[in-house]
Amino acid sequence: MKILSFLSLSTFLLVATSALHAETSARLDPNALTLLKRMSATLSQAKSFTFYTDSILEMPCATGQFITVVSKGFVAVQRPNKIRAIYEGDAHAFDFFYDGSSVMAAAPREQVYSTTKAPDTIDEMLTGLRKEIGIHFHIAPLLFSNSYEHLTRNLQSAVIIGPSFVNGVPCDHLAFRSPGVNWELWIASGKNALPYRLAATFTDKPNLPRKLIDLSGWNLHPWLRGSLFSLKHPKAFQEIPFTAIVKDVRQEASQQATQGARH
């Protein structure tokens, strides 16, 4: 009787595990993954590229509600070890430099800058930046040498929503779910499978904040000066620890969001 019960339990667990695996596989549409892989290949094969961003972020303020904060950005990437990013908008202005050996950041409004040593590849730098300093770009997965690997890590579902347009560009609209975030990508359906919109809902945060980023002006063959990726220490700026500049920028964003809600 005990042996029969044990076998019954084992059979139940085996069937349940198989059913769970089948359900997970069913949620991962291979066509959606193929489109995602195609986009990743386009970005991975580009030795350098530039693009612009228009972002809308929901931020909590003192009233308890979420308000909308808008920002613009410019990103330049030169593989394997150079990135320049410039962000400005309602909540913050922030310049980021990576030249293959150092990461530098400047907050023009506060007239401060910081610098720290960094690994010699974009992949290692982005990983270390988030883990050790706390800086995370929402577009970071697109900058890795293999974005497909990072985007599909622990992926729970992947589906194709259907054809769409982003600022006049015909795209395939895809939706994904990962631990802590539901996210969507709009990938150009033409020859170059480039991402033109990214949306994310952070399910592990209170009130499920959401961010929407439009990506435009893609150039896969830009001419980039080496000086673009290095910060020339401005005389009027004060050098502060890297963690401090990150904190200052975040505090400014929070304060401006709260002030905006009061007016």
Series of mean pLDDT values for 10-residue runs along the chain (263 residues): 39 37 62 97 96 89 81 96 92 85 87 88 89 76 95 96 97 97 95 94 84 97 93 79 56 47 44
Residue 2 falls within a domain, yes or no? no
Whole-number pLDDT of residue 211: 93
Beta strand extents in the chain (DSSP E only): 48-60, 66-78, 82-89, 94-98, 102-107, 112-117, 157-166, 169-178, 181-188, 195-202, 210-219, 238-239
- Domain CATH number, residue 117: 2.50.20.10
Whole-number pLDDT of residue 66: 77
Number of structural domains in the chain: 1
User: Reduced to 3 states, what is the DSSP secondary structure of residue 98?
Assistant: strand
The percentage of residues in the chain with a pLDDT greater than 70, rounded to a whole number, is 79
Residue 215 falls within a domain, yes or no? yes
Residue 229 falls within a domain, yes or no? yes
Whole-number pLDDT of residue 214: 98
The DSSP letter of residue 142 is G
Whole-number pLDDT of residue 16: 36
Q: How far apart are CA 51 and CA 34, in angstroms?
A: 23
pLDDT of 43-85, one tens digit each? 999 999 999 999 998 877 778 777 888 999 999 999 999 999 9
Whole-number pLDDT of residue 107: 84
Residue 142 falls within a domain, yes or no? yes
Residue 7 falls within a domain, yes or no? no
Whole-number pLDDT of residue 91: 62
* Token reading at 108: 């023009």
Whole-number pLDDT of residue 235: 76
CA-nearest of 228, 202, 217, 234 to 169 is 217
**Residue 204 belongs to what domain range?**
27-262
Residue 3 falls within a domain, yes or no? no
Whole-number pLDDT of residue 39: 97
Whole-number pLDDT of residue 193: 95
Whole-number pLDDT of residue 219: 97
What is the number of other CB atoms lying within 10 angstroms of the CB of residue 161? 12
Sign (positive or negative) of CA dihedral 104, 105, 108, 112:
negative
Whole-number pLDDT of residue 169: 96
Residue 22 falls within a domain, yes or no? no
Residue 254 falls within a domain, yes or no? yes
pLDDT of 47-57, one tens digit each? 999 999 999 98
